[in-house]
Structure 1
Amino acid sequence: MNRPVDRSIDIRQLRYFLVLAEELNFRRAAERLHLTQPPLSRQIAALEAALGTPLLERRGNSTRLTEAGQQARQRFAEAVAAFEAAVRSVGSAAARPRAKLRLGLPWWVDMSAFAQLEQRLGGSLPPLEPVLGPGPELLAQLQRHELDAALLTMPHELQGLRHQRVARLAHVAMIPASSALARKRALRLRELEALPAFLRFRKQQNPALWTHFQRLYDAAGFRPARELDAPGTSATIAQIAAGRGCTLMPAAFARQKYPGVAARRLLDDIYVELHLVLGERLEAPLAQALQAQADLLAGALA
């Protein structure tokens, strides 16, 4: 008697397995999926438990497919392709002209530049409805299908969502205009140690992004004497204008002028990568149109 398939298996697990079957390396597969290794390992273990058979065999540092894993690689690829074709087919049959396309944007975007972007896009996309917010919030809205797509600063755990890199965003120092450092056109990160405090977002808000920045700070030898939680944009700018600290922001943020605050170029390479992340329900023609306009999207934010 055949063993029934566990209903807890989902399409995301199959996608994870297929990437791992290509890489045969958990670290590389996790990087491709924008996951850390533990959640990837848990999903694969859950898939194997649901199937009742091991799909991979680890020997020291090497990983190989079992006989069941080799069969699963072919069958799961067929299943995922069939699933995506079915979704496209149903979506096409039910498609109506869109009134708008909801696009998530980082909270620091200069909306005047975004207005120019809409003009340049012309009729290639439906009217864009921008939704501004912090990265984790935009990602959550994507996963709840409240957004069609979003521009996210990486890294984030994208849980298998389609994405592509569109830009590399350099950061600048936001410092008090009254500081002696403001007399310079460019600064080393370590020079900011002379200011009263360094304001940054809490690690709990986005652990992966916080760790990315910390690695860059360590590489630059930056060790501020005092770190404080950034209390939100307006309050952070007010603190800097009052001479109480400094922070780093994407260079696009510095297009806007803030009384009492000076933006200065950094001589150290502090950056984030910007990715266009597509919602699961975004129709294929719109997804392709957005991807084709990636350079324009990047230009509005870089």
Structure 2
Amino acid sequence: MSDLDLRKLRYFLVVAEELNYGRAAEKLHIAQPVLSRQITALEGELGATLFERSSRGTRLTETGTALVDDARALLAGAAALQRRARTAGRQGPHLTIGFMPGLIITSVVRDLVERFPGLTVDVQRTGWDTQVETLLDGGIDASFVRLPVPRRGLQVTELLQEPRVVVLPTGHPLLELEEITLAVLTAENLLQDPDAVPEWRDAVLTVRPNALSLDRIGLPVVNTVEEKLEYVAAGRGIVILPASTAAFYTRGDVASRGVSDLPAGRVGLAIPADRQTPVLTALSEIAEREVGTLTAERVSVMDA
């Protein structure tokens, strides 16, 4: 048997809680087929069936029921091990803070260190797929995240809202429009998980029902902002980014434009619910006070 994947265990626990793959996928912010594949893979690794699905719904098998408490204990133990390993041998108190691309947490870290002399703060860039995973695994102590995120086991404080923009290759015909709307973007290939931009997903399904299946065959698999922008510049598709992220990664071969009917994105601070300490409480207070410094002062978005 291969080593257990902690992420699959976390997915299992959400399905066990919801007993509905659709609701569990929404809670995890992943596509339902992806979740189903992960659970099937976990069952293969364990050599046991964890759920029974029928016309009456989804229910845990006897093995699945027995796994619930063990999985929770294993995940909690893994997180504690990560924290102990990360701090072993270090002198004085230590904190690791995660942040998503485009966010600037310098002033928050500076103020926190001033309030707690002797505190060492490390920072770690996270991604869409890791901003919560790394936190729950104990790899970081707190994280500035882009919402929505699964909130199980977390205390999340919403800090700010900011515009989201579409990034297009320079010279794209849509850049000539006076106003860009979601409707005009439905003909474009989205180079990211459609569930990450549900507004685009819902708009495109009204005109291209197969857009989330057949139309995505042949699209590149991209993970980082840098990869997405490379493919945009090459004319392979578009991406939707927070305005501060687009501004941070400014380059001459792509252009960012506002989308008039696209709601603002949200930024929050996530802290494990079971790790309330004076330092983390202070971090939350400082983040709320310094909210205006978390994104670039000048967001480079072309006026419509």
TM-score normalised over the length of structure 2: 0.56
Q: Cα distance 1:150–1:298, how it changes in 2: closer, same or farther (>3 A)?
A: farther
Q: 1:242, 1:274 → 2: CA distance? A: 30
Q: Cα distance 1:186–1:254, how it changes in 2: closer, same or farther (>3 A)?
A: farther
**1:151: how far off?**
2.0
Partner of 1:132: 125
Q: Secondary structure at the match of 2:96?
A: strand
Is 1:165 the equivalent of 2:158? yes
Q: 1:144, 1:282 → 2: CA distance? A: 13
Q: Cα distance 1:301–1:223, how it changes in 2: closer, same or farther (>3 A)?
A: farther
Q: Secondary structure at the match of 2:164?
A: strand
Q: Cα distance 1:102–1:144, how it changes in 2: closer, same or farther (>3 A)?
A: same
Contact 1:175 1:240 in 2 (8 A): yes
Partner of 2:147: 154
Partner of 1:21: none
Partner of 1:15: none
Is 1:179 the equivalent of 2:172? yes
Q: Cα distance 1:115–1:151, how it changes in 2: closer, same or farther (>3 A)?
A: closer
Contact 1:170 1:272 in 2 (8 A): yes
Contact 2:158 2:268 in 1 (8 A): yes
**1:283: how far off?**
4.8
Q: Secondary structure at the match of 1:198?
A: coil
Q: Cα distance 1:215–1:261, how it changes in 2: closer, same or farther (>3 A)?
A: closer
Q: Which runs of 4+ in 1 moved over 4 A?
A: 119-122, 219-227
**1:297: how far off?**
4.8
Partner of 1:143: 136
Q: Cα distance 1:164–1:147, how it changes in 2: closer, same or farther (>3 A)?
A: same
Contact 1:216 1:270 in 2 (8 A): no
Is 1:115 the equivalent of 2:106? yes
Q: Secondary structure at the match of 2:123?
A: strand
Q: Cα distance 1:134–1:223, how it changes in 2: closer, same or farther (>3 A)?
A: farther
Partner of 1:241: 233
Q: 1:116, 1:223 → 2: CA distance? A: 45
Of residues 192, 197, 209, the one that matches 1:213 is: 197
Partner of 1:285: 278
Q: Secondary structure at the match of 1:248?
A: strand
Q: Cα distance 1:265–1:186, how it changes in 2: closer, same or farther (>3 A)?
A: farther
Q: Secondary structure at the match of 1:153?
A: strand
Which blocks of at least 5 consecutive residues in structure 2 are unaligned?
1-18, 30-50, 52-58, 70-90, 297-304
Q: Cα distance 1:131–1:298, how it changes in 2: closer, same or farther (>3 A)?
A: farther
**1:229: how far off?**
4.7
Q: Which amino acid aligns with 1:275?
A: G
Q: Which has the larger radius of gyration?
A: 1
Q: 1:219, 1:190 → 2: CA distance? A: 7
Q: Cα distance 1:200–1:136, how it changes in 2: closer, same or farther (>3 A)?
A: closer
Q: Cα distance 1:136–1:235, how it changes in 2: closer, same or farther (>3 A)?
A: closer
Q: Cα distance 1:186–1:131, how it changes in 2: closer, same or farther (>3 A)?
A: farther
Is 1:231 the equivalent of 2:219? no
User: RMSD across aligned C-alpha pairs, in angstroms?
Assistant: 4.2
Q: 2:222, 2:257 → 1: CA distance? A: 21
Q: 1:145, 1:131 → 2: CA distance? A: 13
Task: Identify the range of structure 1 (284-293 vs 218-227) with the bigger mean alpha-carbon deviation.
Answer: 218-227
Question: What per-residue deviation string (whole Å, max 9, x for no partner) do you get for residues 103-132 of structure 1?
Answer: 1112x225xx33354445561354432211
Mapping of 1:1-302 within 5 angstroms?
97-98=92-93, 100-106=94-100, 108-110=101-103, 113-119=104-110, 123-124=114-115, 126-184=119-177, 186-195=179-188, 197-201=189-193, 210=195, 213-215=197-199, 217-218=201-202, 226-227=215-216, 228-232=219-223, 233-256=225-248, 257-279=250-272, 282-295=275-288, 296-297=290-291, 299-301=293-295
Which blocks of at least 5 consecutive residues in structure 1 are unaligned?
1-25, 51-95, 204-209
Q: Cα distance 1:185–1:292, how it changes in 2: closer, same or farther (>3 A)?
A: farther
TM-score normalised over the length of structure 1: 0.56
Contact 1:171 1:271 in 2 (8 A): yes
Q: Cα distance 1:145–1:264, how it changes in 2: closer, same or farther (>3 A)?
A: same
Q: How many residues align?
A: 215
Q: 2:220, 2:263 → 1: CA distance? A: 19
